[in-house]
Structure 1
Amino acid sequence: MPAPRRFVVASTSLPLALGWGWNLSLYVGMLLGLLMLMMLLLWMLLKQLSNSVAKSMLQPAYRGSVRPYVNFNAKHDAEILHKAMKGMGTDEDAILMLLTARSNDQRQQIKAAYKKAYGKDLVSALKSELGGLFESLIVALMTPSVLYDATLLHNALKGAGTEDEVLIEILASRTGEQIKEITKVYKKEFGGKLEKDICGDTSGHYQKLLVILLQGSREEGVDEEKIEKDAKDLYAAGEGKFGTDEEKFITILGNRSAEHLRKVFAAYKKLSGSDIEDSIRGETTGNLENLLLAVVKCAGSIPNFFAERLYKSMRRAGTDDDTLMRIMVSRSEVDMLDIRGSFKKIYGQSLYTTIQMK
């Protein structure tokens, strides 16, 4: 068992230092401190861009908020982390500041340098020193991106229930190439086929669409000859008939490219007078409805999709920490700048401010 230690929040607005103890008030204080530290880490991910823009040598098209550190030295960083975990206490601030200022690839290099220098796994060392939500966040940051997605899917499928929102979020938003890589890593790490595991935990039309998305083989480009036909087929499968032809929705939404689907949805609006999302809500229910809506939203704008999910994770009295953490970590080097922009445009306040208020 690690020695007692103090959790120090690295912010003048959060100067609370809480200690471990059996006193109930101290225990509650400790939990609050951990929650605030987790929120600080999320703020750091959002603010990292402003601290590193002057040093960045990346192409302008890069839309992540966490960028590779220019003056990177894996051995030196490993030494800093070792010192942060050495002795009676743990310097969470040092760990936080360093890891949020490095890209995922650089963190993997630090992990290798740490093992070479100290003969032990960095992630295991961090887990032995940290706890709670802060530990979960640090471990997530230290996990290679494809393995992180594969692990999320594995955890969503194991046990008695299924975390369908995780399946939906990942399979609706990742590219075909990303999904193919995820399935390879999943088999390597967990010894089974992702498709088989998903089929074992799902059923019906929901399962069919998940399996289609798992193939990672969407059509490319726009087929102008199919736009009007697809719009009419979707209308005939839903609003235009008594009952619903779910297979038609699954085939079109599961296989057409995002560019093509956007044109189909515009044609559908002209044809029916309503949005495709309204049709889906009226014609389907449950997990199939949620998955179809996620596909539609991702075809329209992936940043908008994640902005909405982040907002919903924080709008209730209690924050959905798992969703908040999952999105912040997985999109930090992909499109977090665009997500931030979408969030501000849709909800009228910055993502940073919203997290800070929580």
Structure 2
Amino acid sequence: MESEKLRSEAEGRSVTGALNFDPTPDAQTLYKAMKGLGTDEQAIIDVLTKRSNMQRQQIAKSFKGQFGKDLIESLKSELSGNFERLIVALMYSPFKYDAKELYDAMKGVGTSEGVIIEILASRTKAQIKEIIKAYKEEYGSDLEEDIKSETSGYFEQILVCLLQGERDNATLYVDTALALQDAETLYASGEKIQGTDEMQFITILCTRSATHLLKVFEEYQKLAGKSIEDSIKSETHGSLEDAMLAIVKCTRNVHCYFAERLYHALKGAGTHDGTLIRVIVSRSEVDLNLIKAEFKRIAGKSLSSMILVSKI
């Protein structure tokens, strides 16, 4: 069972790192690529996209040791635009990168609710703990406090609830009686009454495990005669609706959730480069190959072909 899990995880990764890895020559290649007039962007791509995140951290350490410079700062000074954004994203460790994306989503004018929802709805209990820690270390402030100051109402409540990391660890055992009770509670809090008891929805969606919620959704469909997604759409709106639907989608199929995020980022007027970069970088060593397969199913064409077309 465990070996099957490890194998499927390995198959999901699109980046596995270099064999016989040595950070010293890689750091030297990057230094040469940025030295003097002009920048050898291809050399930077060749090194950084073919290394795992752990290997990139070692390259950064070696770069600092050999040349006394911070690699991220050097890359920032030599590159620009979305290429800089992508390469710099590759250099952050996963939790620091998530913390940075959350910080950027709240900093400046307006708040990018979609980014906050995507990260908090799709990460595990253990990952959220690490993101909170990385956020505090990097920015000296409390992630929960910052989210509270940038959001309000039930949307604030659902994000804070996700931050608590109370979702039970996934387990194969499901308490059928509790799942039925939860389904009845959701039905009684929405479809059955005038108005909606949002807190009941928030509590159940944010504190139950994925396996439990799947059973709840199944029982809910029987009770309400419609899917939980359709009920959320008719009972809520705006950012709260987006957050609830993201939790449901991630529960049903996290790969499909990210494939949809990529599809919507590429489709329509203008490309949402931030979403594209964030999803590809953050999932490259997790499950990007599985996301690509879902993308092809949704879009009818490969992710790489749609990216090429969007960038022409």
Whether the TM-score (by the shorter chain) exceeds 0.5 is yes
Indicate the residue corresponding to 1:240 in structure 2.
192
Indicate the residue corresponding to 2:247 in structure 1.
295
Q: Map 1:159-178; keep pairs closer than 5 Å.
A: 159-178=108-127
Larger-Rg structure: 1
Look up the equivalent residue of 2:232 and give its one-letter code.
Answer: I
Indicate the residue corresponding to 2:19 in structure 1.
70
Q: Number of matched residues?
A: 301
CA deviation vs aligned residue, 1:283-321 (integer Å, no higher than 9, x gap): 001111110000000000110000001000011131111
Indicate the residue corresponding to 1:91 in structure 2.
40
1:184 aligns with 2:117: no
Look up the equivalent residue of 1:76 and give its one-letter code.
Answer: P
Asked if the contact 2:9/2:287 (under 8 Å) is kept, the reply is no
1:354 aligns with 2:306: yes
Indicate the residue corresponding to 1:198 in structure 2.
147
Deviation of 1:236 (Å): 1.1
Indicate the residue corresponding to 2:63 in structure 1.
114
**Greater share of helix residues, 1 or 2?**
2
Q: Distance in 1 between matches of 2:210 and 2:159?
A: 17
Indicate the residue corresponding to 2:178 in structure 1.
226
Deviation of 1:219 (Å): 2.0
1:250 to 181, 202, 211: 202
Asked if the contact 2:98/2:119 (under 8 Å) is kept, the reply is yes
Indicate the residue corresponding to 2:95 in structure 1.
146
Indicate the residue corresponding to 1:80 in structure 2.
29
Look up the equivalent residue of 1:174 and give its one-letter code.
Answer: R
CA deviation vs aligned residue, 1:250-292 (integer Å, no higher than 9, x gap): 1110111011111111111122221100000000011111100
Indicate the residue corresponding to 1:309 in structure 2.
261
Deviation of 1:133 (Å): 1.1
Any stretches of 5+ residues in structure 2 without a counterpart? 1-5
Greater shift in the superposed pair: 214-223 or 251-260:
214-223
Asked if the contact 2:105/2:111 (under 8 Å) is kept, the reply is yes
SS of aligned partner of 1:301:
helix
Deviation of 1:223 (Å): 2.2
Deviation of 1:227 (Å): 1.1
CA deviation vs aligned residue, 1:162-215 (integer Å, no higher than 9, x gap): 111111000000001000001011111111111011111111111111111101
Indicate the residue corresponding to 2:3 in structure 1.
none
Q: Distance in 1 between matches of 2:216 and 2:301?
A: 32
CA deviation vs aligned residue, 1:5-27 (integer Å, no higher than 9, x gap): xxxxxxxxxxxxxxxxxxxxxxx
1:125 to 43, 62, 74: 74
**Greater RCO (CA < 8 Å, at least 6 residues apart):** 2
Residues 60 and 236 of structure 1: is their aligned pair in 2 closer, same or farther, counting only changes over 3 Å?
A: closer
Indicate the residue corresponding to 2:9 in structure 1.
61
TM-score by length of 2: 0.94
Indicate the residue corresponding to 2:211 in structure 1.
259
Look up the equivalent residue of 1:284 and give its one-letter code.
Answer: T
Indicate the residue corresponding to 1:22 in structure 2.
none
Asked if the contact 2:9/2:286 (under 8 Å) is kept, the reply is no
Q: Distance in 2 between matches of 1:203 and 1:318?
A: 29
Q: Distance in 1 between matches of 2:195 and 2:131?
A: 36
Deviation of 1:71 (Å): 2.1
Give runs of ≥4 in structure 1 deviating > 6 Å: none
- Percent identity between matched residues is 54
Look up the equivalent residue of 2:181 and give its one-letter code.
Answer: K
RMSD between superposed Cα atoms in Å: 1.2
1:332 aligns with 2:281: no
CA deviation vs aligned residue, 1:26-65 (integer Å, no higher than 9, x gap): xxxxxxxxxxxxxxxxxxxxxxxxxxxxxxxx84531210
CA deviation vs aligned residue, 1:202-258 (integer Å, no higher than 9, x gap): 111111111111011212332222111111111111111111111110111011101
Look up the equivalent residue of 1:341 and give its one-letter code.
Answer: A
Q: Distance in 1 between matches of 2:107 and 2:33?
A: 34
Residues 357 and 160 of structure 1: is their aligned pair in 2 closer, same or farther, counting only changes over 3 Å?
A: closer
Any stretches of 5+ residues in structure 1 without a counterpart? 1-57
2:157 to 208, 218, 240: 208
Residues 356 and 160 of structure 1: is their aligned pair in 2 closer, same or farther, counting only changes over 3 Å?
A: closer
Look up the equivalent residue of 2:214 and give its one-letter code.
Answer: R
1:320 aligns with 2:272: yes
Q: Distance in 2 between matches of 1:244 and 1:174?
A: 27
Asked if the contact 2:189/2:200 (under 8 Å) is kept, the reply is yes
1:342 aligns with 2:294: yes
CA deviation vs aligned residue, 1:70-102 (integer Å, no higher than 9, x gap): 121100101111111122121101101110000
Indicate the residue corresponding to 1:52 in structure 2.
none
